[in-house]
Structure 1
């Protein structure tokens, strides 16, 4: 009788385990958040991982077509979005074509191998028996069978695949249903390089996006090193999703320490750590004290420098340019990829007002004059230009003839002056005023938020970083030229007049190649 009871109890336990396994499999097939613990029981899933998983599932279901995920480093973002999500998608829909890109082909290939490992595991095979990979390594289609290597693998008997590539790699002939970009920029040094930011963005627009179709979805996961990173540019171009902007981005961001902004998916109190068991509040606050740049970008996903590092932390954004007592214009000439900045500056008492007219790379001198006149700027008031471009200053003053013989009038262009210490003198002079810039001056606003001093041991030096300063250089040079020196009295035979001292216009650097007409 006792043995019978034991056998019956064992059968009941086995039945319960079997039913529990069936429930677990059903949940894992239907819900990505349940898939992770089913195939990776060692993964320590946190509340925010469940939020990310639900958003990724919404991408698969096309409730979300463009998703950005900002999470601090070592918080499990790639495990979810890049290693496990593609495997779950191919289990559900083995005909899906998936592209994964990262800053290097080596990292992209590691994602490829990790996905394959998950799909070869017994728990996965039990979940999705119809999704199989080739049993052997297949490098090219010429060897026969479904491809399987470190760059691309396909699902046997189906059209789906995962292709991985480093940013800059070729995607010719690849049509993509879901594209995932995981950390397109390696580190801060690369993020601060305008050349790398430009090449990464060009690859995204010219290569990655051209592989998408009307029903494609994309996911971008990255650390926000710079405001001008790929995510920043995409948000600037496309905006946030709304009912009136269906092509915008859905963004979920988890700062390492909870900020004051309200978020429906973040239940933490202000200041609390995101994953205290792994990255304590004390540890992150030490990063904040020791390196505010790293704290703001890597940990808070808010790529703004600390206020003490900003050259102009107190500039004020206003709606429109007001009427001013006096005006002048400013121009900073661009080079191959640097923008030419054209702006209008007004002064009333100790207030300066700045309006952005143009911030465009590749402009020739005729283009500058055309933009100047099209904006309705007064050609008779002084326009302060970069003194290193004396030849361009002369040509802007002279005007030019169109091919049909029509003369385009020149402007009152004069080269800028530089005070003692040049940059520092101009910054000091600007700081004597309260400076306002119009809301439409988007690039001035970006420079204000990014023009920084070089930091040494966490403290600002007196030397600005030579970056994010095209508008700043123009405004600084114009203000010093107009207001930098006190008036000096000169006697003449007829009367005593007060004039603004001007330095010799000589000393300009070489003209820019190819800018002349």
Structure 2
């Protein structure tokens, strides 16, 4: 047996103590094979600040497959328990199966020899600890009040208050992000279920890739704002683009255009993704859910404060119900200027509901309304009016079906391009659609075919304007040109 080397013993003791004090060293201690890069160290520093309660709300935006969940969701809870085994932590994700997987992986770290060396008093229940829970949905720490619950989106979060909530990707993919119903249900669940478990000192960590301007991250930031001296309770945001942009980011000193983790995701591979799917690249890889102007169908619409008096005024409607909203847009035209104001954007509306909402929006029953021609029965019912449960009679609307046919979508898009279009700042859903409505891209070039998404309010506008003004304004009708490919660095 070799003699004990006191210097090596002291060195190991120092390493363990540093791992207890510093989260980045902790990750490397319990996961020696983890590839800690410079940007992982930046995230670890922010998580350390969260652990010290210097930050109350933290968002981490990163491209997929860059190790964010390993650091923030799998390793951070064990570190928090080591500092304070009385913490009550909730780990939330888009599905119960995903949340349970995180739970199992957290338990594996807590029970590993490397962790037990650092924090030997933090112990999970064994078979003989019948009074202490240990499942893939919840576990308690033996001898302490600490616990961890893992919950999928829309799942219950009852019982004890939550000290720290860790949200990891609440939307699974773009299909979910594009669903108004899923976005609304997710946000309502956050507000009605998750945040009701918070107390004055509760903290929240949201780790995600961006999908949409209206995703939970976007709604959090719109509601709470960014953290600053003037807004200390806002969100601290750490965001890494797959390819460095020209934005000045103190913690990211890469040259513009270079890859975040070239050993894992090369610049060549990322450039190919950008060319083939600009929207996916901008949102999922650049953490900027706005599409590139190259892909946008309407890149130059203007936001205004109010809807002005116009030479001509009418309404456009697109029907929806379960998943898609019913939309009603007021349209005004003065010369070559067109103005839009969102009046209705809501799912689950029956025809009597639509009539009532229109009256509440102060729609004149005699005002011309051009609606989707796919629902003649709805058009007839809305024209006849309705009687409310109170007995009040509401007059029907002056509604008629729009003109549709082969090529009418592109013709309607071209008709709108003949105007300088403005929309009111209160038209939030219309604004979101304008910023996300885009052409299908082929090899980095925009085609003449729009993606069938983000178009409910826009369909109401497009079909109504096309129906009313089929003849081009002041010039001959032209086809929509193919757009030229533009270098990323010249955008």
TM over 0.5: yes
Aligned partner of 2:200 among 203, 206, 214: 214
The question of 1:99 aligning with 2:85 is answered: no
Pairing of 1:100-179 with structure 2 (within 5 A): 100-134=91-125, 136=126, 144-173=130-159, 175-179=161-165
Q: How many residues align?
A: 472
The question of 1:482 aligning with 2:468 is answered: yes
For 2:479, the equivalent position in structure 1 comes to: none
Task: Give the direction of change, closer, same or farther, for the CA distance of 1:193–1:332 in structure 2 (3 Å limit).
Answer: closer
Larger radius of gyration: 1
For 1:448, the equivalent position in structure 2 comes to: 434
Where in structure 1 are there 5+ consecutive unaligned residues?
A: 1-6, 488-517
For 2:322, the equivalent position in structure 1 comes to: 336
Aligned partner of 1:41 among 18, 32, 40: 32
* TM-score, structure 1 as length reference: 0.81
- 2:341 and 2:265 map into 1 onto residues whose CA distance is 44
For 2:410, the equivalent position in structure 1 comes to: 424
Shift of 1:274: 1.6
Aligned partner of 1:254 among 236, 240, 261: 240
Aligned partner of 2:53 among 37, 62, 68: 62
Aligned partner of 2:77 among 65, 73, 86: 86
- Output one character per residue of 1:50-89: Cα deviation in whole Å (capped at 9) or x when no partner: 2212222333333333322111122211111011100000
Task: Give the direction of change, closer, same or farther, for the CA distance of 1:394–1:69 in structure 2 (3 Å limit).
Answer: same
- 1:92 and 1:259 map into 2 onto residues whose CA distance is 37
Shift of 1:157: 0.5
Pairing of 1:310-389 with structure 2 (within 5 A): 310-389=296-375
Partners of 1:419 and 1:480 within 8 A in 2: no
Partners of 1:418 and 1:426 within 8 A in 2: no
Task: Give the direction of change, closer, same or farther, for the CA distance of 1:418–1:239 in structure 2 (3 Å limit).
Answer: farther
For 1:279, the equivalent position in structure 2 comes to: 265
- Output one character per residue of 1:12-51: Cα deviation in whole Å (capped at 9) or x when no partner: xx44444443433333223323322233333222222222
- Output one character per residue of 1:427-479: Cα deviation in whole Å (capped at 9) or x when no partner: 22112222121222211111012223344565544443332211111111210
- Output one character per residue of 1:388-409: Cα deviation in whole Å (capped at 9) or x when no partner: 3444444544544555655544
Where in structure 2 are there 5+ consecutive unaligned residues?
A: 474-491
For 1:510, the equivalent position in structure 2 comes to: none
Task: Give the direction of change, closer, same or farther, for the CA distance of 1:419–1:316 in structure 2 (3 Å limit).
Answer: farther
Aligned partner of 2:287 among 301, 312, 329: 301
For 1:436, the equivalent position in structure 2 comes to: 422
Shift of 1:196: 4.7
- 2:56 and 2:326 map into 1 onto residues whose CA distance is 36
Partners of 1:419 and 1:425 within 8 A in 2: no
Task: Give the direction of change, closer, same or farther, for the CA distance of 1:373–1:258 in structure 2 (3 Å limit).
Answer: same
- 2:180 and 2:315 map into 1 onto residues whose CA distance is 27
Partners of 1:137 and 1:148 within 8 A in 2: no
For 2:15, the equivalent position in structure 1 comes to: 24
- 2:154 and 2:231 map into 1 onto residues whose CA distance is 30
The question of 1:226 aligning with 2:226 is answered: no
Partners of 2:227 and 2:235 within 8 A in 1: yes
For 1:500, the equivalent position in structure 2 comes to: none
Partners of 1:137 and 1:147 within 8 A in 2: no
Partners of 2:315 and 2:367 within 8 A in 1: yes
Indicate the SS of the match to 2:59: strand
For 2:489, the equivalent position in structure 1 comes to: none
* TM-score, structure 2 as length reference: 0.85
For 1:3, the equivalent position in structure 2 comes to: none
